[in-house]
Structure formats: structure tokens, C-alpha cells
Amino acid sequence: MKKFIIFIFLLLSTSSVFAKTIDYRNIDSYPAGSENRPLNFGGFLTVYFNSVAEYENIPESYQYIALNFRNVEKNTPLYRALQKWVYMGFFKNLAINLKMSELATPEQFTRAVESNLWQRIEQVGTGRILTVKAILETLGQIYQEQPIDGTGLIMEDINIGAFYPITTISNFAILNDVYEKLKVNFYDSAKLYDEALIQWAAKGMAEVSDDKHTSYFPPVEAKNFQDELGGEFEGIGAYIDMPRPGELHIISPMSGTPAEKSGLKWGDIITKIDDILVTESTTLQDAVNKIKWVGWTAVKLHIKRGITELDFTIVRAKIVLNYVEYKKLDTGDQYIKITTFGAGVKDAFAQALTAISKDINNGKIIIDLRNNPGGSLDEVAAMLNYFVPRGQSVVHIKYKNTVSEMQSEWQDLIDLTRRKIIILINGGSASASEIMSGTIKDYLSDNVRIIGEKSYGKWSVQSLDTYTDGSSFKYTIAKWFTGKTQTGIDGTGIKPDIEVKFDEVLWKAGRDNQMEYAKNLNW
């Protein structure tokens, strides 16, 4: 994904009006023959912003932005285009009128490309008319990194620190030469396939990032990862992490999975996988690939737990995650356990809240985020709409060059601002779990108590791109902070208001001491 600098020419416009410009309020499609018609300024913003946003795969969470522009109608292509760019921090969300009916010019498009894409355009089309065709063809060529013909468009990088295609790097020839030598002169070249060579080159680049959350997945690994995001996969059912080279930690075993049933716990350190030592050269993805496999096969794990060393033989199984568990407790309190923030969890959460809203009892709501390793930022943001006042920040996001916020679209299915809420966390609560607990505490502090043990401390945001061969690339694009106080928890985690250590002896006897404390707490 290319990075952009701030878009600076919002209010520049020409003084003339062209009567037959394309209507920016209905520009989702371009009727035959319209591609060469002039664009007014509103149409230009719509085509340009939406096109670049599509190339950049901007996440769907842009739609939570409420725009302040006075003369931009909701649910129009222009509104959605501006949402995307406000989301990314390239447009100020101002309470002003935009001069949308005035004729757009090629000069405005040129300045936009120079400011946003770090490319210089010497010529776009002819005359002073800007058309849909000129924008789409130019952006298509820019993103394909190919020279432009026909219109005479020439591009060159103009900003120090901007993205440069790998072919312009001085030692790119080395990579190309190695590839050619392997294909032409290598003795066993017949065993080498182009797909594998390219995939391993991509894996190497991802690993050089030295970011444990940045990974390239070849097609099979990509499918496994996507299955896991979808809530159904085969394996032992545990989230793992590598905070330091050679240290492979269990973040959390998933509820009801072979990992949990075998006795694995968050904080366990895996030192061997099937008698293969975990060393500093072992990557996190290598470890995941060794542990995950088809159901009904077994994997042996050697674990270090404090000063104790343990061996586990775990039979893999098909894992189907139930994202939300809801029940009414014998105390009259309501209990919601969220196992992970996978696709669709917001809907299951809404169903639980619907059940709670029908109960005339006004007891506490206990939200259990223990051993929840996180998941989708979009999902947790939607769930926080029930706790955060409309228009207020749900989560604060810092990208490489910009800062953005996801704002609440208040959902009044149930008024949670008046309810006593307890949130259970532990060392296996990470990422989206920490966003939820931290932001709820931010806004409803008097009525919220966080109980348990310090959370994991993951504050990064990843994007996932999928390629035509089925492979995918997951990479860190931002850091997040809680919505109101903009608290970051990287490496430190969230400290509970009331620390209650998990009692393993009671657990083996069928009791949950942290849960018992939550049920008995009143304030």
C-alpha cells in the first residue's frame, strides 16, 4: 500500500461552470459516451477519491465517519469518497460548503497526484477539461507502474522518502541475476518452480521487516489463515506469539478446544514442536505451520511453565468457534463471553444485548474477555457503538503519516451507560480485547470495573491483502489507542482495577475464582 501526504487543494476551483458535466451525486456508474464529458469539482473528488481508495483497499471501517461538510448529501458516492479520505486523515472534516459545481481542471488533478501519490504528471489529455477517462487511465497506469502512452503522460518520483518501485533499486539486478542463474545454470533447475521462487522471495522480504505481525502466506497457508479468521479451521485451538526471537508463547487456548482440554495455559513457553527445538531462527509463521495440521493427527509440545517443564501430546481437531456465549446467572446478573473478534461477532453480540434488554432485572453485566486474543478492528468498533456516545472516538489510530479516528454511531438497543459493567481480562486478552476494555473504561469509568490480571499488550493494526494466486500478505499499518484518553498499551497491557489471580487449584475443582469475585462484587 502506498502512503500519502495531506491533500492540500480542497477549496481550489475554477470560476466557470460547464452545463453538461457529469452529476457527482450519481457517479457510481458511467453511461456509454460519458467518459469524455467534463467533470465538475464534486465529480472529480468522487472519481479520484473512490478510485484511489479502491486501489489502496481502504478497510470498510471508513463508513463510521460522520462528515461535517454542509452541502454533501449522505449515502451519495461523494459522501462515501470523502468518508474514506477523512478516515485516512487526508481531508479535514470541516463544517463548510464545498464548491462542487464548478468545473474541475487537469491542473487540480496534477496537484492531487503530486501531493498524494508523489508522482509528477507533465500532461493529462488536452486543453482545460478534466474527464473520467483521464483520471481512471492515469491512476491505472500509476498503480501498474507502467509508462503511459497515447496522452503523453510522463511520471517521475518527486518526494524524498516516497515509494520507489523495486526495479529502480540499484541492487535489484542481484535479485534478477540470482533468479536467472537458478533457472538457467542451476544443476537441479527442473525442480524449481517460478511460483515457489517468488513466494520465498516475498516471505524473505516480510521477515526482514522484523515485525512479528507482518507475514507473507503462500496459498495453502493463506487459506488456513482465512479459515481461522472465519471461525472454522483445523488445529489444536491456541493463539501463539513470539515476543522475542526463540520464545514461543501461548497467548491463549481457545475455549473448548484440544489446547484448553489438554491443560495448555496462557504464558506457557513452547520449547519443542515434535522434538524440533524452537530457536532464534524459528519464525512465528514456521511455528504456526508446524503446530497446525489436519484433524485427528497429533502434535507433541514441550512446554516450560515457570521452572517446570511439561510434555503434551495433543490431538488436532476441527475447531468451530462460537464467538459469543450469553447466559443469565443465578445472581440475576448477565454474562457475555466473547472468545474472539471474528467476522460477524458484532451480530452475535447484538443478539445477546437484545436478550438482556428484555430482562427487567437491572443486575450487572459481566463481559468476559479472558483468553480473547483480539481480531477485527471493524467488529470491535461496531460493538463499542453501544457504549460510546454518538460522534465520540471509539478508537484512535496512528498510521505511518497520518492520524485517524473511528467515531461512534450510537446504538440505543440498550442503555449500557446506566448499567454496572464488569470486564474480566487476563494475560491472554489482547488487541481488540484491550481496545474494548480500555475504551469502555474510558467513557463509563464510574460504572465499570476491570477484574483479573494484566492484559497482553498488543497495540498494532494489520491489513491483509490477497493475491490472484491465493497467497496473501499481512502487514502492520498502524498503532491504536483507546478512544477518549488515547492510551497506548504496547508491551504494558491494561492493568485491572482489581487484581484477582487465577486459582488453578480451584479451577481443577470446578470453580472459577475470578468469576466468583465478579458475581459478588457490588459498588
Sequence-ordered list of residues with C-beta below 8 angstroms from that of 260, at least 6 positions apart, any chain: 237, 238, 253, 254
Q: Establish whether 408 is a catalytic residue.
A: no
- DSSP-assigned letter for residue 38: B
Q: Establish whether 458 is a catalytic residue.
A: yes
Cα dihedral value 286, 289, 290, 295, nearest 10: 170
Count of alpha carbons within 13 Å of 284, Cβ hemisphere only?
20
Sequence-ordered list of residues with C-beta below 8 angstroms from that of 152, at least 6 positions apart, any chain: 122, 123
**CA separation for the pair 391, 381 (Å, rounded):** 13
**CA separation for the pair 515, 496 (Å, rounded):** 14
The one catalytic residue in 203, 458, 474, 484 is 458
**CA separation for the pair 444, 462 (Å, rounded):** 28
The one catalytic residue in 51, 61, 404, 431 is 431
Q: How far is CA 151 from the centre of its chain?
A: 38
The strand ranges marked E within 195-354 are 215-217, 232-235, 238-244, 247-253, 269-273, 276-277, 298-305, 308-315, 317-320, 324-328, 334-338
**CA separation for the pair 394, 409 (Å, rounded):** 9
The one catalytic residue in 376, 442, 472, 474 is 442
Which residue carries 468522487 as its cell? 46
**CA separation for the pair 186, 440 (Å, rounded):** 60
Count of alpha carbons within 13 Å of 337, Cβ hemisphere only?
13
- Residues 359 and 365: beta-carbon distance below 8 Å: no
Give me 521's grid cell: 462484587
Terminal CA-to-CA distance of the chain, rounded, Å?
49
Among 10, 66, 34, CA closest to 394: 66
Q: Establish whether 431 is a catalytic residue.
A: yes
Give me 184's grid cell: 538457467
Which are the catalytic amino acids?
431, 442, 458
